[in-house]
Structure 1
């Protein structure tokens, strides 16, 4: 039978997931609820039916999964309109919105909390998810099936792990983007032309990431392979790795993101 999905909110992340579903060999039947007309039009271009609000959902449409892809600050006012779909399960990708908060708006329902990241837009994302006790094994499998077209999926043991993967993978792309900015600034500082500095920094990171994915060795082995004793790379790594500088800085950054995720969950 065709899977029926209801996507509530079709911003960048919602649209990325939608595009992945509609390319599946056995594409689901999808209804999108999106108040912004340009985003509705973009959703309709994938073959989905898009409506402006929950009142426009076709009579008799009973979703197997309702994906809540709205901003956290909108969640409380949005949830009551979808509580009637409790025969299926709900998947929230809103950062900091706990399953307890979702249950207050949905009642006793099968709820999955999921944290994606932005590379899902090109099918290279990371998804961590956890489910409450009401979610069946079949629903877990279905959620995994729906997430996998957009990237790697990790099922986590409990909800506290969501804040942890948020700090690593949810926020992680921004860390890498800033590294590209910093590397480009460093290139300019030693005299490379602006355009060369920018593109060299971008392509160096892209190429190294692709190599790390393709190679059987781990990152430490790849680092050692490119580091000749007494060479230029070794000189740079003496700065980055001396007194565990970069490791300590990254740990401090990830801990800050984790602490903020916990704070958001308590609000």
Structure 2
């Protein structure tokens, strides 16, 4: 039996797989997807096995990762319901779908780990919010859960009622960061900087700024103040962002994301 099985090889499932392969052997992993050609190609590239069906995968993996869209969950849960046992562990990465709702569909004795990773997992810099009842798991199982999520980035453990907030903070927000990078790069291309150079300048700046927050432990506002010299260029730019509602736009985006999460069942 494999340690980890992935049902779904979309963007998120594949990103997690690539990260996990850095810490686990290919023989520890099994995958499946409706697209058999994709499974064959991934198996050829990575050495992992693939299953023909969701039920076959669930019968051959202890930890079953449901890496599919929320709207596909009912079908997938129906496929695996009669195969999984109390020894199985389900890892759900769908926004809005609670542990309680999964237990109602799979059985009260089925153990669930609810998580929200993000696509930077593909380059080993993912951020995942994780929630589960630790008392239901052995120390060995907890260690494997830690190893799994840290294989493609970092993880924070939160109460389940905070998971919708995690979706807003890290699950969906890479899209906003990419929009910011694209917009800032466009703005300097206007002044003659080559597009490739613009993306490199901006993306590295975003990466470096994030590392400053994580590694210095200083408040983002303080770090911002250190860049803003009195009467200088940066404070003029900050003032323009404030005038155009930069912070409010971000907060409104989070509100919209959170509202959508609460409507997913």
State the TM-score bracket (shorter-chain normalisation): 0.7 to 0.9
Q: Which one scores higher on RCO, CA 8 angstroms, separation ≥ 6?
A: 2
Q: How does 1:80-159 map to 2 (within 5 A)?
A: 80-83=78-81, 84-86=83-85, 87-108=87-108, 109-132=110-133, 135-138=136-139, 139-157=141-159, 159=160
Q: CA deviation at 1:134?
A: 7.5
Which moved further from structure 2: 65-74 or 79-88?
79-88
> Does 2:70 align with 1:69?
no
Determine the structure 2 residue equivalent to 1:252.
252
Contact 1:21 1:27 survives alignment (8 Å): no
- Distance in 2 between residues matched to 1:133 and 1:145, nearest whole Å: 15
- Closer, same or farther: CA 233–10 of 1 in aligned 2, 3 Å: same
- Closer, same or farther: CA 12–216 of 1 in aligned 2, 3 Å: same
Contact 1:129 1:155 survives alignment (8 Å): yes
- Closer, same or farther: CA 39–104 of 1 in aligned 2, 3 Å: farther
TM-score (norm 2): 0.85
- Distance in 1 between residues matched to 2:201 and 2:147, nearest whole Å: 37
Q: CA deviation at 1:164?
A: 0.8
Secondary structure of 2:136's counterpart equals coil
Determine the structure 1 residue equivalent to 2:5.
6
Secondary structure of 1:67's counterpart equals strand
Q: CA deviation at 1:32?
A: 1.2
Determine the structure 2 residue equivalent to 1:262.
262
Secondary structure of 1:64's counterpart equals strand
Determine the structure 2 residue equivalent to 1:226.
227
Determine the structure 1 residue equivalent to 2:168.
167
- Distance in 1 between residues matched to 2:239 and 2:162, nearest whole Å: 34
- Distance in 1 between residues matched to 2:133 and 2:212, nearest whole Å: 38
Contact 1:30 1:49 survives alignment (8 Å): yes
Contact 2:55 2:80 survives alignment (8 Å): no
Contact 2:7 2:57 survives alignment (8 Å): no
- Distance in 2 between residues matched to 1:251 and 1:55, nearest whole Å: 41
Determine the structure 2 residue equivalent to 1:183.
184
Deviations 1:119-176 (A, max 9, x none): 111111111121258832533443222111111111112x221111101111110111
Secondary structure of 2:97's counterpart equals coil
- Distance in 1 between residues matched to 2:62 and 2:56, nearest whole Å: 18
> How many residue pairs end up in the alignment?
259
Q: How does 1:229-240 map to 2 (within 5 A)?
A: 229-240=230-241
Q: CA deviation at 1:177?
A: 0.9
Secondary structure of 1:257's counterpart equals helix
The unaligned stretches of length 5 or more in structure 2 are none
Q: CA deviation at 1:7?
A: 1.5
Deviations 1:23-46 (A, max 9, x none): 226666222122212321243122
